[in-house]
Amino acid sequence: MLEIDNLWVAINGKNILKGISLNVKAGEVHAIMGPNGSGKSTLAAVLAGRDFAEVVEGSIKYMGRDLFDMAPEERSKEGLFLGFQYPIEIPGVSMVNFMKTAVNEHRRHKGLEPLSASDFLKLMRDKKELVEIDSKLANRSVNEGFSGGEKKKNEIFQMAMLEPRLAILDETDSGLDIDALRIVANGVNKLKRPDTSTIVITHYQRLLDYIVPDIVHVLYDGRIVKTAGKELAVELEAKGYEWIRNEVDRS
Amino acid sequence: MGKENDKVIGEVTSGEYKYGFYSDIEIESIPKGLSEDVVRIISGKKGEPQWLLDFRLKAFRHWQTLKMPRWANLRIPDIDFQDIIYYAAPRKQNTVDGSGEIDPEIKKTFDKLGIPLEEQKHLAGVAVDAVMDSVSVKTTFKETLAEAGIIFSSFSDAVKEYPDLVKRYLGTVVPYTDNFFAALNSAVFSDGSFCYIPKGVRCPMELSTYFRINAANTGQFERTLLVADEEAYVSYLEGCTAPMRDENQLHAAVVEIIAENNAEVKYSTVQNWYPGDKEGRGGIFNFVTKRGLCRGENSKISWTQVETGSAITWKYPSCILKGDNSSGEFYSVAVTNNHQQADTGTKMIHIGRNTKSTIVSKGISAGVSQNSYRGLVKVLRNAAGARNFSQCDSLLLGDKCGAHTFPYIEVDNQTAIVEHEATTSKIGEDQIFYCNQRGISTEDAVGLIVNGYAREVINKLPMEFAVEAQKLLQISLEGSVG
């Protein structure tokens, strides 16, 4: 699904990612953990195609294709979804209109006819139920005036609408109370299929109580310094990032 | 973020102007230049009565004493008024009584513009007066409307058929002394639409005038006069387009509206004159005086405009709120891209008691364009209980364009409440990226965001035109964001 090979990324000439390699197969859930400033969000941004970060070296293959050859909207239409850490407000544009445009672009990409208004509204209803999102949100402008929790739930709702192959969730748990966290995690779990993959980027282990990863990576100072099974998250929570820091510095 | 910014903003290319074609129609025109003789020739061609010729001549003499207004936030090149043709008409036009055949070329032109001139083909419920260059070529649904007592005809026909009505109202809202361009229009206006809705009649269909400039080197000076008698209602729409040319062309129109007791007039404009190319060559100079008089009690006049075209727009659709409890509205979206300049807004003059006005102006600037809102809210001494709310928003695409707001507020009555809100925002690259990440292209994202921003105004348009206006907004801004 996704093969990252020796990825070096700089922002304003300063290296942020320093040789990341990562292989995500279909059906897998990967967690990327790490302290602030380790490069987690930069990685997410590069995958989605945000161009403030400069790729210095390395390659990324997505579904066998060179990811850097694909425009951000094409990545989306090919099934790459980014759940934003800070979802953007778009005043005046209703969620219905926004999602209808997005869904129909995805359908057109697959050679399908646009959905009729009634089919689209039915799809929205179904997905809202699935992710337990308040149906009033759908009638408001995109993220405008949403609380932090509502914005995150709205990201999962959009994910449900677009049914991605590869979902990258960038600190989706930050700013969520425990109920919202459960709803978001349940949504992600319900959307999981054997042929889809998820990358969960997070600070804390608590989200991983609900979304159980197959593989956990620890990102520190632009490098993946540790990769192991789900028990690594627990160990990390108990020992803190200090432990990683010491280990890295020793070697 | 600098690099991305540059990229997003730097790639300024122009969208396609869909209406830039020229129709090869045989025209009859008079030589270039402006003089009393030209005024007499125009009047003579129309077989006008003496009083109307006198009106024109007074206007012309007054115009000669005036200077081009320079107070707007516009860079207006010198206009040589002797280098313009003041009358050009398709040779084989419809006859005055409406029974004659229309030149197939003219029909084709309007078909291409999406304005079929056959009644059975037309959008249900819309009557059209089609004006090409200096004359009205066809007015549809005249007979149907006449059954309800409604007069809807070209201005020239109205002068012949209803001289008393025209004489009673012409120049009563916009006198020929009003301003430079109103004086010029009063002297040389060649056609336009006349509409009268009698007492107690609710006009059963949308009325519209479609203005098309076709001939080269020609100015268009049309005049619209709309009267809603007591308890009457009408919704009126005008649209405008012109061929692409490297030379500028002048359009100076006058619109007058009169609303009597309890009457309501909605006047909507979708202005899409040729805006010039992306280097700023060519385009229409659009100097328009539009004013409505709420003469009666409880009368209401509402202006809605979507301004996307013209190289220069100078236009302030206004309301004189004379009748007690009368109300005026102004809803505007003005888009400027490339080298376009717009100085547009409104005047709300509160004279009667408990008069209300609402102003919602949405400016959108892109490219290296300049977009100004200029509005006056004036409350006179006797306008007790007057109320105004103004909201002026500006949206910027890129950092080479300008948005300006010039609100003037003059209040002479202590009981008046006047509110003004203004915002300026930019389309953020993070908004566009958010759309991209959901599979929406940058072009579509801009369209989505701009239409969301302008929604409040677009919603005021009649349904059929709201859809058109939405597309137009998107096309006008095509290529303005990389």
pLDDT tens digits, A196-217: 999 999 888 888 888 899 999 9
CB contact at 8 A, B400 and B417: no
**Beta-carbon separation of A76 and B436 below 8 A:** yes
Q: Please name the residue of chain A whose CA is at the shortest distance from the CA of residue B458.
A: A92
Q: Indicate the length of chain B as a whole number.
A: 482
Separation between Cα atoms, residue B373 and residue B345, nearest integer Å: 5
Contact status of A42 with chain B (Cβ, < 8 Å): no
Per-residue confidence (pLDDT) for residue B14, from 0 to 100:
36
Is it the case that residue A65 has pLDDT exceeding 60? yes
Give the ipTM of the model, two decimals please. 0.95
pLDDT tens for residues B242-254? 667 677 888 899 9
**Beta-carbon separation of B444 and A105 below 8 A:** yes
pLDDT tens for residues B165-183? 999 999 999 999 999 999 9
pLDDT tens for residues A120-131? 989 998 998 887
Per-residue confidence (pLDDT) for residue B481, from 0 to 100:
59
- Chain B neighbors of A81, CB-CB under 8 A: 437
Is it the case that residue B93 has pLDDT exceeding 60? no
CB contact at 8 A, B467 and B437: no
What's the whole-number mean pLDDT along residues B328-350? Answer: 93
- Chain A neighbors of B1, CB-CB under 8 A: 52
| Better-scored residue on pLDDT, A68 or A191 | A68
- Chain A neighbors of B454, CB-CB under 8 A: 92
**Beta-carbon separation of B440 and A101 below 8 A:** yes
CB contact at 8 A, B38 and B221: no
Token duo for residue A223: 């490098």
Contact status of B449 with chain A (Cβ, < 8 Å): yes
Residue B95: pLDDT band with limits 50, 70, 90: very low
pLDDT tens for residues B409-421? 999 999 999 999 9
pLDDT tens for residues B262-315? 999 999 988 888 888 888 888 889 999 999 999 999 999 999 998 888 899 999
- Chain B neighbors of A84, CB-CB under 8 A: 434, 437
Q: Please name the residue of chain A whose CA is at the shortest distance from the CA of residue B2.
A: A52
Spell out the domain ranges in chain B: 2-100+168-192+209-477
CATH number assigned to the domain comprising residue A138:
3.40.50.300
Is it the case that residue B384 has pLDDT exceeding 70? yes
pLDDT tens for residues B192-213? 889 999 999 998 888 888 777 7
Q: Between A95-109 and A117-130, two packed helices, what is the crossing angle to 10 degrees?
A: 110
Torsion angles phi and psi, residue A66, rounded to 5: -70, 115
Is it the case that residue B11 has pLDDT exceeding 60? no
- Chain A neighbors of B3, CB-CB under 8 A: 51-52
Per-residue confidence (pLDDT) for residue B187, from 0 to 100:
94
Interface-testing mutation among A12, A46, A73, A109, with chain B (most B C-beta atoms within 10 A): A73
Separation between Cα atoms, residue B301 and residue B263, nearest integer Å: 8
Token duo for residue B280: 């700023």
Domain count of chain A?
1
- Chain A neighbors of B451, CB-CB under 8 A: 92-93
Is it the case that residue B118 has pLDDT exceeding 80? no
Q: How far is A169 from chain B (nearest CA, A)?
A: 13
Is it the case that residue A238 has pLDDT exceeding 60? yes
Is it the case that residue B98 has pLDDT exceeding 60? no
Per-residue confidence (pLDDT) for residue A169, from 0 to 100:
94
What's the whole-number mean pLDDT along residues A6-34? Answer: 93
Separation between Cα atoms, residue A37 and residue B360, nearest integer Å: 45
Per-residue confidence (pLDDT) for residue B246, from 0 to 100:
72
Structural domain including A182 reads: 2-250
Q: How far is A53 from chain B (nearest CA, A)?
A: 9
Residue A174: pLDDT band with limits 50, 70, 90: confident
List the single range of A45-49, B126-130, B346-350 with lowest mean pLDDT: B126-130
Long-range contacts of residues B409-414, Cβ cutoff 8 Å, at least 24 apart: B409/B376, B409/B377, B409/B378, B410/B376, B410/B377, B410/B378, B410/B379, B411/B377, B411/B378, B411/B379, B412/B379, B412/B380, B412/B381, B412/B383, B413/B350, B413/B379, B413/B380, B413/B381, B413/B382, B413/B383, B413/B384, B413/B386
Per-residue confidence (pLDDT) for residue B2, from 0 to 100:
35
